[in-house]
């Protein structure tokens, strides 16, 4: 639940989701669920000419399993808190 | 002391990763990708958060004229990155000198 | 109750998308447009009035597909499409039969390219 909790604290922040098919979408994090499915609003696709079908998409739901990376805003998370939460998770799980 | 004893025990693979928290690690991913960065968080799926990450992507391009294979490496730096665990092939802890 | 409303129940992420016209991108790169009528916790989907949108170069066309049940693991993303922007900017709509032909042509060209490459590999000119 560590990353689910973490992503919940990032709701409203600007993130970039990079998918396993190389599609890169930036937008405001609208919501996340326990599978780490992600909903973005006000989305912008990088390299839009390559993905013309995405031009009229402004909001989207991304299935967690197709995510490669999520670029997070640096400074949005306290890394000390993150280390402690990780150690707690490691003990519990 | 008790806490020291607990953090130093290595009983399963993930314990090695716990010992790498806040250290720079090497991660090999599917699709000819490699990451080097500081480990800030992970879970049992090997989902991770890395800081000051350098990603190396190795691609093989085919020259349109000669059909020769050209191996290229692209590097980029990402300040703060969540990595989904299902793409990870191996994790290597920092080299301790 | 307030906290219950803040955290949606597990597997209800797509409730807001029900009965909306959506773009569904599949893992093999195919793109479907249609109305989301049902889903479950895995994101298995039921899409009504689906069309497959094929884009070749500057042209696109829609192939009618009717009612589609999509297995969750093949879903990459769902996007709310602005109905006002029906056609992707800069692309021309052509009839279904023609876009199928254009796609066939593109596939054959790619196949030809990879065949030539395979032969060059076989000769191993290094």
In total, how many domains does chain C have? 1
CATH number, domain at C49?
Answer: 2.30.30.100
Strands A24-32 and B24-29: unpaired
Nearest CA to A27 out of A63, A1, A68, A61 is that of A61
Task: Report how far residue B54's alpha carbon sits from residue B71's, in angstroms, rounded to the nearest whole number.
Answer: 19
Q: Is residue C126 part of a domain?
A: no
Record the tokens describing residue A73, joined without a space. 């805003």
pLDDT reading at C121 higher than 80:
no
Which domain does C107 fall in, by range? 12-119
How many angstroms separate the CA atoms of B93 and B19, rounded?
Answer: 8
pLDDT at res. B96: 62
Residue A90: pLDDT above 70? yes
ipTM above 0.85, yes or no: yes
The better pLDDT of the pair B7, B15 is held by B15
CATH classification at residue A48:
2.30.30.100
Domain limits for position A42: 2-92
Q: What local confidence, expressed as pLDDT, does residue C7 receive?
A: 61
Q: For residues A62 and A40, what is the distance between their CA atoms, to the nearest angstrom?
A: 8
Query: Using a CB-CB distance cutoff of 8 angstroms, which residues of chain A are in contact with residue C29?
Result: 21
**Cβ contact C53:A53 at 8 Å:** yes
Which residues from C are below 8 Å from A23, CB to CB?
25, 76-77
| Number of domains composing chain A | 1
Question: A53 and C31: CB-CB below 8 Å?
Answer: yes
Q: Tell me the nearest-neighbour CA distance from B64 into chain C, angstroms.
A: 9
Q: Which residue of A has its CA nearest to B48?
A: A3
Domain for residue C93, yes or no? yes
Assigned CATH class of B13-92: mainly beta
């Amino acid at each position: 639940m560590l990353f689910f909790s973490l992503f919940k604290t990032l709701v409203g922040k600007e993130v970039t989701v990079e998918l396993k098919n190389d599609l890169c979408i930036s937008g405001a994090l609208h919501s996340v669920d326990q599978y780490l499915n992600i909903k973005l609003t006000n989305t912008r696709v990088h390299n839009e000419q390559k993905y013309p079908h995405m031009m009229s998409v402004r909001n989207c739901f991304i299935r967690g399993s197709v995510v490669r990376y999520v670029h997070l805003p640096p400074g949005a998370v306290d890394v000390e808190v993150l280390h402690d939460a990780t150690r707690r998770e490691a003990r519990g799980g | 002391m008790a806490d020291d004893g607990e953090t130093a025990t290595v009983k399963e693979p993930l314990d090695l990763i716990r010992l790498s928290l806040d250290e720079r690690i090497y991660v090999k991913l599917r699709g000819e990708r490699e990451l080097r960065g500081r480990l800030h968080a992970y879970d049992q799926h090997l989902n991770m958060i890395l800081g000051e990450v350098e990603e190396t992507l190795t691609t093989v391009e085919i020259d349109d004229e000669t059909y020769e294979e050209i191996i290229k490496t692209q590097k980029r730096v990402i300040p703060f990155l969540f990595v989904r665990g299902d793409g990870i092939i191996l994790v290597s802890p920092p080299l301790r000198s | 109750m307030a906290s219950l409303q803040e955290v949606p129940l597990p597997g209800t992420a797509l409730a807001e998308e029900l009965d909306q016209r959506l773009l569904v991108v599949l893992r093999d790169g195919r793109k479907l447009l249609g109305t989301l009528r049902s889903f479950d916790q895995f994101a298995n989907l039921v899409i009504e009035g689906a069309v497959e949108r094929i884009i070749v170069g500057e042209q696109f066309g829609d192939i009618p597909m009717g009612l589609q049940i999509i297995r969750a693991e093949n879903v990459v993303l769902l996007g709310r499409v602005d109905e006002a922007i029906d056609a992707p900017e800069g692309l021309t709509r052509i009839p279904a039969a023609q876009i199928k032909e254009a796609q066939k042509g593109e596939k054959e060209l790619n196949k030809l390219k990879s065949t030539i490459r395979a032969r060059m590999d076989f000769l191993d000119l290094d």
